[in-house]
Amino acid sequence: MSVRIQHLIAGAVVALFAGASQAQVTVSIFNPGTSSISSLAFVQVGNTLQISTTWNASAGSFLLIDGLDTAANYTVEHTITNNSGETWTRFANELLDPSGQSNDSLDPIPQPAFVPAGYTTSNDNDGLSFAQGSGLARTSTMFASLTVDELSDVRDFLDFHDGSHANGATDTFTTFGLRDNQDNQPFLLALRPNAFSVPVVPEPETYALMLAGLGVVGFMARRNKRRTAA
């Protein structure tokens, strides 16, 4: 057997095993009969998930995602065609993991009304995240600003805003990471156009100022009480 043929066979074996080790991710429309997403196309290129959706309304909808390799970082490139009849001025993305897990006690009660049965918001201990701490890009061609809420146990949340996506427009809308360190699959990616949301927990600096303010109020109350008693 020639050296060239040996190299070709070796290369084919390496490619075969490399292909076998690459998880085949699946992405589908959750509850398609009631979804605002009228069509979906999905291509996986290595650890890049290229998702294309067409929307015929602006009501929040969900994508069902399964098959991620454990603890692997993935990049999502989401292209959207907006046929909703409205201009979108912001776009929220939130992760929802299957309910019934031991860490669900950390989730907020009650759950937000938009969360479907069988799922809960993603806390900071369940291992599901937008590839938190990975440094993967979180960008949008349509929106200049991003509000992030993922360090608390309240939710894993990316809200792109300060821009617009006109009715009839198609664009590579958002890019962000995904990672599942534990067994959270299949999970939901909740997508909500024009859904205004602010962080539900204060940032550390704000929290410190709040505590300082409460301390001053308490001090003044105690001083006034002593004066009254005197």
Return the minimum-mean-pLDDT range out of 33-37, 57-61, 105-109, 213-217. Answer: 213-217
Question: CA-CA distance, 160 to 208, in Å (whole number)?
Answer: 27
| Cα separation values, 193 from 100, 133, 172, Å | 28, 26, 15
pLDDT at 202: 43
Q: What is the dihedral of CA 83, 74, 142, 124, to 10 degrees?
A: 100
Mean pLDDT of 27-50: 97
- Beta carbons within 10 angstroms of residue 219's beta carbon: 10
Residue 45 has pLDDT above 90, yes or no: yes
Question: CA-CA distance, 127 to 131, in Å (whole number)?
Answer: 10
Q: Note if the pTM is more than 0.85.
A: no
pLDDT at 199: 54
Mean pLDDT of all residues belonging to the chain: 83
pLDDT digits (tens, 9 = 90+) for 78-106: 999 999 999 999 999 999 999 999 999 99
Determine contact, residues 106/216, Cβ cutoff 8 Å.
no
Query: Which band of pLDDT confidence, cut at 50, 70 and 90, is reported for residue 6?
Result: very low
pLDDT digits (tens, 9 = 90+) for 106-152: 999 999 999 999 999 999 999 999 999 999 999 999 999 999 999 88
Query: Which band of pLDDT confidence, cut at 50, 70 and 90, is reported for residue 173?
Result: confident
Residue 36 has pLDDT above 90, yes or no: yes
pLDDT at 23: 77
Residue 228 has pLDDT above 60, yes or no: no
Determine contact, residues 122/152, Cβ cutoff 8 Å.
no
Q: Single out the residue of 31, 35, 143, 37 nearest to residue 83, CA to CA.
A: 37
Strands of the chain (E only): list them.
Answer: 26-29, 37-45, 48-55, 61-66, 74-82, 88-98, 119-121, 128-129, 139-140, 143-149, 157-165, 170-180, 187-193
- For residues 173 and 70, which has the higher predicted lDDT (pLDDT)? 70
| Percent of the chain whose pLDDT exceeds 90 | 72
